[in-house]
Each structure stands twice: as C-alpha cells, then as structure tokens.
Amino acid sequence: MTMVLIVLVALVFGAEAKHLVYRDCNSSPNKIIHVDSAHVSPFPVIVPGDITSDIIIQAPRLVDAGPHYKLDVHIQKHALFWITVPCISNVGSCSYDLCTLLGNFNQTGCPSQLRAQNLPCQCPFQPGTYTLNPTVFKIPDMTGLWSWLASGDYKVDAKITDKRTGEEVGCYHVEVTATQPPCSGFLCSIFG
C-alpha cells in the first residue's frame, strides 16, 4: 500500500518537462486542503527512479478520523486521444475512503521520509501548515500489467468529498509527463 500511495503522490504532484502544473479546482470555504507550493524533480518524472519532492500544504480545518471523506482519483493517459486509466488493484482511476487509505499505514508503517520530518500520515489531521522539505522517494518499476503506465502524458484529477454533507472539500487538477530511463549499452543501439 505504501508504494501505491507514493505512485499516486508522484502522479498527482508530478511535473511537465518544463514546470510543475497543478491547479486548485475547489472554491469551497470549507476546503480541508490547499497546496501552497509543490516541486518535483527530475522533469519529467522517470519511472522507475528517484524523485525529490517538497510540498507545503495548508489544512484549514480538522480532518477527523472516520469514514467521512471520499477521495476520487481520475487518471487519463494520452495515447492518440485521452483514455481513462482503469482502477486495478486499488491503483488508477479509483475511489477511496481517505482516512481508510491513510490508515493502511497502520499495517505498513508510515513512510520513513514522513516520520523523519514528524509529518502525520493518518487521520486525524489537525488544522495547520504541513511542510515536506526536499525528500527523495523511490518510484518502483512498473512491471507486468502496469508497464504501459511507465511513460506518457497524464491528466490527474483528485477530488475529496465530505460524505456527511456531499460538499466537495478538496480538488486538484494536475498534468504530468513520465518517462522511462534512457537506454544504454550495445543492445539499445539495436533495439532502441
């Protein structure tokens, strides 16, 4: 589950080749999250590989524990036209209970990168500013069924809905480009 979240974060806060593209698409006065700034390098994101990321997030309201917040992630990949990446094994265009998703860290442990900076990785989240200083994450090799996702242009929409009121309390639109590491060696000159 930790790798699933790291891949989602890399896609949601990824970058185009020239600059980071993310847009807050929520105007609710009751939003539970606002990204002040986010940076990811290298550009484009290389899969598999290491990425360095930093982010400053404002949590203007308490995000209480419990099944109160639904996270809908919609990922599209450009392949002559935009196609939706299906939800397979809880990765792709999926719906999640936000706190349950984060609560899975109880089983796998909060990523060491977050622990080292005293950042919470499960509900509840108190109101405040959460800063992830430049930190290296490993993006895993996408093999088998997922190998077709290792490179390409993506659009990602992530929306958080308060299930108690039906109000959208968080929304981000991101555009990202991912590539595979350059090929090197004799066989690359033959097979590219």
CATH number of 2-142+149-178: 2.60.120.330, 2.30.42.10, 3.40.50.300, 2.70.220.10? 2.70.220.10
At 81, give phi and psi (nearest 5°): -150, 170
pLDDT value at 170 more than 90: yes
Task: Find out whether 174 and 13 touch, Cβ atoms under 8 Å.
Answer: yes
Q: How far apart are CA 76 and CA 84, in angstroms?
A: 4
Q: Which residue has the higher pLDDT, 139 or 171?
A: 171
Q: Could you tell me the pLDDT band of residue 2, with boundaries at 50, 70 and 90? A: very low
Strands 49-59, 34-41: pairing kind:
antiparallel
Q: How far apart are CA 16 and CA 43, in angstroms?
A: 6
Q: How far apart are CA 92 and CA 8, in angstroms?
A: 8
Percent of the chain residues topping a pLDDT of 90: 28
CB-CB neighbours of 93 under 10 Å: 16
For the question of whether the overall pTM of this predicted structure is more than 0.75, the answer is: yes
Q: What is the dihedral of CA 49, 52, 56, 62, to 10 degrees?
A: 40
Q: Which residue has the higher pLDDT, 45 or 117?
A: 117
Q: Where are the domains of the chain?
A: 2-142+149-178
pLDDT of residue 102: 79
**Beta-carbon contacts of residue 117 (< 8 Å; ≥ 6 apart):** 131, 132, 133, 135
Mean pLDDT of 104-126: 77
Task: Tell me what the pLDDT averaged over the chain comes to.
Answer: 78
